[in-house]
Structure 1
Amino acid sequence: IPVVRDLPEVGQGLQDHLAVSYQFAATEPTLNTQLGGMLGKLMMGAKYLLTRSGPLSVPVNQVGGFVRSSPDNRFPDMQVYFNPASYAMTSSGKAVLDRTPGFQISAQPCRPTSRGRIEIVSPDPRVAPSIQPNSLSTDVDKSAAIQAGKVLQRFAATGSLKSVTSRAKTPDLMALDDDGLLADFKQRASTVYHPTCTCRMGRDDQTSVLDARLRVHGVGGVRVVDASAFPNITSGNTNAPTMMLAMRAADLILEDAS
């Protein structure tokens, strides 16, 4: 591919949020009771179509928020979300709900410091790029992974959750020490689909891809307006910040056009 403008930071600086989840069997009915079987799925599907209500009318993560993993932290550093369902994953990546009641609790560190990269490996657009997340490459992120597990342990130990828990599904969250929490995070944590920063804004063409007006350094008429333009990953979901960026970019484009 002929090089038009050599910008070394294109594709560099990739950041994403990773979350770890733990499941428990429950003593009270959950979404598994309603959606675990085909009859229940049909009934809940019909309820949504007819009344726009029921479990299909709300997100699966029905409880969520931001918490501090330590009272010494000035700002929340963990995003947590719980859902009233438990399931198993097939080899093809399909989630199959348990037939018996269960629930899941999840946590993700808000401010990862590790950075990866995405690079093309062929001029053929049908060839997948190389994506190297480089997750947990810093001590800060390893510590945050442990803290995520500890936050969930504290939630699982509360009276309200213990009162509706019959047993832990494998792996047993409450049986893990710091080393076990880190090893389990490395083994099972997964993306929550917040990839960002691979065309990030910055001061110059050696440390960034875009200027403060989202223009590609040295390339006229080209802007990047999506989450890849973030200098750093946001501390929570990327949807609303991306829409905010797009609204700001629309103003910039109109200003420059006039």
Structure 2
Amino acid sequence: MLGDTEVDWGYKLTPQAALDGRVVPYPRGFVLGGSSAISESCTGLISRPFALIGAKITWFVGPALPLDDPLRWWQSEKYTVVDSRDATEYDATHHSTAGLHHIGLPVAQSDLDQRVIQSLSDEFLFNSSINSGKPIGFGWFPVSVKDGARNSAVSSYLAQAYLARPNLHVLVKAHVTRVLQTGASDAGPVFRAVEFVQNGDVSFKYTVTAAKEVILSAGAVGTPAILLHSGIGDAKVLEGLGIKSTLNLPDVGRNLSEHTLSAISWEVNSKDTFEAFTRDSAGKEAAEKQWRDSKTSPLSTPPCTQVGFLRLPKSHSILSTTADPAAGPNTPHIELIFLNGFFGPPPPTGNYLTVAFACVTPTSLGSITLASNDPLAHPIIDPKLLGTEIDRVTMREAFRATRKFVTGPGFKDYIVRELSAEVPDTDEGIDAYLKATTAVEFHGTGTAKMSAKDAKDGVVNPDLLVKGAVGLRIVDASVFPFIPSAHTMLPIYALAERASDLIKAVHKI
């Protein structure tokens, strides 16, 4: 579903300076459910306190948070026990069973899962619940799957029961171009109208007006782009593009943050890998038939079922010269994701293991800007990947940790060869590899960031209302003031659950 398809916006990052000018694809969901409907269906972790407000799909809650009720963060989930897996493998204590969004452990398992467990050590610790509030260690990915199929935001929150409500109307193939100012008040300009086009036809623009408020949830790319086209942003920059300023908010589009991602692949001595059905038509047909018959088979489980989180060593020299970007001692810097096959279209022969590794505490900040005043044109997306020394150091150490992990006892007689074996274990050698291979986890945040109500920076207040405006609220990952040290699906769902409470309270619904 990623790439040149009708359900992907087809974005690309602007050439990345620290990656020798490489252009990196940046898929975003152009479909109901957004990116939750097209990314992988594993689940992710919260590791920073979002105190201002009182989630490839991954589902973690991360380090313990200073909240009155930590369950607030995963109240959206409905954890389901999918088999009789022993509690020593996974502790589900820290999950809710009362929410709307189905998650559970992956049903389909492979030989790789146990090899990961067998390779754990004093350095690579086992963690029976990544969601316990202490995510450091290695263990099972909870997955967003129901009845063997992807469980996205649309299947949970826009299911048939809710679509049948008489006060809900869903319009597809509509592209919002602007939010429109409908008046003025002592508190600032009023925005209660939305302009959109249908089927990409700009010859006629529709307008709808809200009685109470407009809620903008177009994501970390779409939300700032819509605001900027609406004249909400840096007035001088917008006027240079021929866009009339309606509200001067210079931080719109700034503060873009992303998790950097790379990977190493090995040829392995196994037939039980993705290649059994990604490269072989008979294997693919068999997997599809099994799924149709029983909703099982490898197709019922995301490609990654095991994950690990690590911190940089306290003694690392970078931490003596640079502030630790992690929120605290339980927050990871590095993520390792284990995939039972080649990451991408496989070579014509052989079976493979891939370990993807990521920096989950990036300090590089980029931006979303406009190339023109054409509201249907793609914005310029520049996260400035690996733009800081500590981000580069973290990715180097992630590379080294990945190589070291597969020397564990579980991989004895399993590894045939590393495909990148020529990369030397030097900073220069690893940096060259990272420049050629680094991509992202598609976890963009921060482009309409939240700040204190009286703060002069930021885009929204803690109630998610746009600063200096009336009638306009933002509910998506763009409002996060900093990126979670984890996959962003759960934090986004938690934000949306909290936003719904705020909206119901203010309008007495």
**TM-score, normalization by structure 1:** 0.91
- Equivalent residue for 1:241, pick from 491, 494, 497: 491
Aligned to 2:261: 19
Query: Of 432, 435, 439, which aligns to 1:190?
Result: 439
Q: Does 1:35 align with 2:278?
A: yes
Pick aligned residue for 1:181 from 413, 430, 433: 430
Q: Is the 8 A contact 2:423 2:433 kept in 1?
A: no
Separation of aligned partners in 1, 2:308 and 2:478? 25
Residues 65-80 of structure 1 correspond to what in structure 2 (within 5 A)? 65-70=308-313, 74-75=329-330, 76-80=332-336
The letter for the 2-side match of 1:14 is L
Question: What are the Cα deviations for residues 6-52 of structure 1, in whole angstroms up to 9, with x where unaligned?
Answer: 10000000001111101000012222124321111111111111111
In 2, Cα distance between equivalents of 1:10 and 1:164 = 50
Deviations 1:201-231 (A, max 9, x none): 0135642001111110011111110011101
2:300 — aligned with what?
Answer: 57
| 8 Å CA contact retained: 1:7, 1:206 | no
Matches within 5 A, 1:67-216: 67-70=310-313, 74-75=329-330, 76-86=332-342, 95-96=345-346, 98-169=348-419, 171-172=420-421, 175-203=424-452, 204=454, 206-216=456-466
Q: In the aligned structure 2, how far is the partner of 1:151 from the partner of 1:252?
A: 43
Shift of 1:192: 1.0
Q: Deviations over 1:90-121 (max 9, x none)?
A: xxxxx346542111011111110010000112
- Counterpart in the other structure of 2:250: 8
Alpha-carbon distance in structure 1 between the residues aligned to 2:284 and 2:291 = 11
The answer to whether the 8 Å contact 1:33/1:100 transfers is no
What letter corresponds to residue 329 of structure 2 in structure 1? Answer: R
- Counterpart among 205, 216, 219 of residue 469 in structure 2: 219
**8 Å CA contact 2:335, 2:358 repeated in 1:** yes
**Offset of residue 181 of structure 1:** 1.4
**Separation in 2, partners of 1:60, 1:183:** 27
| SS across alignment from 1:105 | strand
Give the 3 Å change call, closer, same or farther, for CA 157–10 of structure 1 in structure 2.
Answer: same
Q: The residue matched to 1:62 in structure 2 has which SS?
A: strand
Indicate the larger mover: 20-29 or 33-42.
Answer: 33-42
The Cα of 1:257 is off from its aligned counterpart by: 1.3
**Distance verdict in 2 for CA 1:87–1:110, change over 3 Å:** closer
The count of corresponding residues between Structure 1 and Structure 2 is 251
Find the counterpart in structure 2 of residue 92 from structure 1: none
Tell me which amino acid in the other structure corresponds to 1:57: S
Residue type of the alignment partner of 1:6: N
The residue type paired with residue 59 of structure 1 is P
TM-score, reference length from structure 2: 0.47
Cα distance in structure 2, aligned partners of 1:112 and 1:243: 22
1:57 Cα shift?
Answer: 0.7
SS of 1:108 mapped into structure 2: strand
User: Match for residue 45 of structure 1?
Assistant: 288
Distance 2:248 2:422 in 1: 48
Larger radius of gyration: 2
Cα distance between partner residues in 2 of 1:162 and 1:10: 51
> Kindly tell me: are residues 112 and 70 of structure 1, through their superposed partners in 2, closer, same or farther at Cα, counting changes over 3 Å?
same
The answer for the alignment partner of 2:202 in structure 1 is none
Task: Give the SS at the match of 2:337.
Answer: strand
Q: How far apart are residue 61 of structure 1 and its match?
A: 0.9
* CA distance, structure 2, for counterparts of residue 62 and residue 98 of structure 1: 25
Moved over 3 A (4+): 96-99, 173-176
**Alpha-carbon distance in structure 1 between the residues aligned to 2:342 and 2:389:** 32
- Report deviation, 1:156: 2.1
Q: 1:174 deviation in Å?
A: 6.6
2:216 matched residue in structure 1: none
Give the distance between the partners of 2:305 and 2:354, measured in 1 at CA.
11
- 8 A Cα contact 2:360 2:486, kept in partner: yes
Segments of structure 1 that go 5 or more residues without pairing to the other structure are 89-94
1:78 maps to a residue whose letter is I
| Matched residue, 1:91 | none
Partner of 1:254: 504
Q: Which has the higher contact order (CA 8 A, sep 6+)?
A: 1
Residues 162/173 of structure 1: CA separation in 2 closer, same or farther (3 Å cut):
farther
Deviation at 1:69, TM superposition (A): 3.7
Gap change, CA 1:223 and 1:97, over 3 Å in 2 = farther
Shift of 1:176: 3.2
Q: Which has the higher helix share?
A: 1
Structure 2: segments with no counterpart, 5+ residues: 1-242, 316-327
- The amino acid across from 2:340 in the alignment is P
Offset from partner CA, 1:162-192 (integer Å, 9 cap, x none): 43100111x2277432221122112211111
Contact 1:48/1:54 (<8 A) preserved: yes
